[in-house]
Amino acid sequence: MMRLPNHPSVAIVGATGAVGREMLAILESRAFPLRSLRLFASPRSAGSTIRFRGDAVACEVLSDRAVEQVDLVLFSAGKETSKEWAPRFRDAGAIVIDNSSAFRADPACPLVVPEVNPHALDAVDQPTIIANPNCSTIIALVAVTPLHRAIGVERMIAATYQAASGAGASAMAELESQARSWTRDEPLDTRIFGRQYLFNVFSHNSAIGADGYNEEERKLLTETRRMWESNSVRVSATCVRVPTLRAHAEALHLEFARATSEHEIRAFLATAPGVRVVDDRASNKFPEPLDAAGQDDVLVGRIRMDPSVPDQRGAALFVCGDQIRKGAALNAVQLAEWFLPQPRTRTTTKSSEHQLTQ
């Protein structure tokens, strides 16, 4: 497998965005060993500075020169920017981790969550674009993959409750501004979503196809199949936006290949990397977006059998995960860490016993 130098030169494209800023915070908090850092954003941010490890780093505009001498680049600047620039960084010798959907279906670009399919990185022996999966899919699969490996998930029905952050920093700002305007009885700013978001729920704002499914719903099927290397798993999803800021919630109904029990499911989840079980029936305390916000772990609760599936083969879960962190920036940094030459903990775990190290 290809390795980065001990102290790689790193670039972030989309550094001023919600995910880009989180990438910076995570590189800092995880003490990612880097030699130099370059930040890129759109021309409107050129010259503005962002603090990293005590230094003010100026944002630059992408250019032919920009792609030179970069070992690792993290992209979160939208699909079009990735399509145009990610191959140029790769061709100039960089490992590219791309948070957009531009390369997720490309067989030459591994689609990876370290807790799900890290082996997909083993074949990377040259500069490559690695695709960071869709946020709802990451959050679901961190919780469900340990069950799939042990019991075999044949079908998953997902209902998502998605936060504003998935649509970027400006969408978060719009929700916050609607809350302020509401208390002042002022007109609401609806530029991003074209509707009142506060106190509302609406179908996910991605393109909807002739079959009635939107792109977000389709990604849950296609990306799950790709990461599980299974063309047989059946997935159907309903994805909606709810007025939360940065953590997605998802109700997941699973149909297994064999009979299982609540006890068995709890046992697998209790030791799953990147998972924290929050399941207190007595005090009605289960995963909540506000508790997941700012956390690395995916919170899992409402663990129960699904009596609508025969033969004890069905179970239901409710999960919450920080869309900006594990749904995007943290997963990207974990993928980058996979390429470092020094052994280090590469997945979020709750006990050293379950840490994955090189």
* Adjacent-strand bridge partners of 235: 156
| 18: CB partners within 8 A, 6+ apart | 165, 168, 169, 172, 246, 324
Catalytic one of 59, 109, 135, 239: 135
40: left (phi over 0), alpha (psi -120 to 50) or beta: beta
Write the CA distances from 306 to 154, 208, 237, 267, 299, integer angstroms. Answer: 14, 30, 17, 17, 20
Q: Interacting stretch for ligand A2P, rule CB under 6 A, among 23-31, 165-173, 273-281, 331-339?
A: 165-173
Beta strand pairing status for 55-60 and 72-75?
Answer: unpaired
Least CB distance from residue 316 to ligand A2P, whole Å?
Answer: 32
Per-residue x/- track, 48-87, ligand A2P (CB under 6 A): --------------x--------------xx--x------
Residue 214 engages ligand A2P in binding (rule: CB under 6 A): no
Of 2, 28, 44, 58, the residue at the interface with ligand A2P (CB under 6 A) is 44
Residue nearest to ligand A2P as judged by C-beta position: 17
Least CB distance from residue 58 to ligand A2P, whole Å?
Answer: 13
Give the whole-angstrom CA distance, residue 78 versus residue 141.
Answer: 23
Give the whole-angstrom CA distance, residue 103 versus residue 107.
Answer: 8
Query: Residue 107: exposed, middle, or buried by beta-carbon count in 10 A (0-12, 13-18, 19+)?
Result: exposed
Site residue total, ligand A2P (CB under 6 A): 19
Residue 248 known to be catalytic? yes
Residue 170 engages ligand A2P in binding (rule: CB under 6 A): yes
Of 14, 133, 287, 289, the residue at the interface with ligand A2P (CB under 6 A) is 14
Q: Interacting stretch for ligand A2P, rule CB under 6 A, among 10-18, 190-198, 205-213, 229-237?
A: 10-18
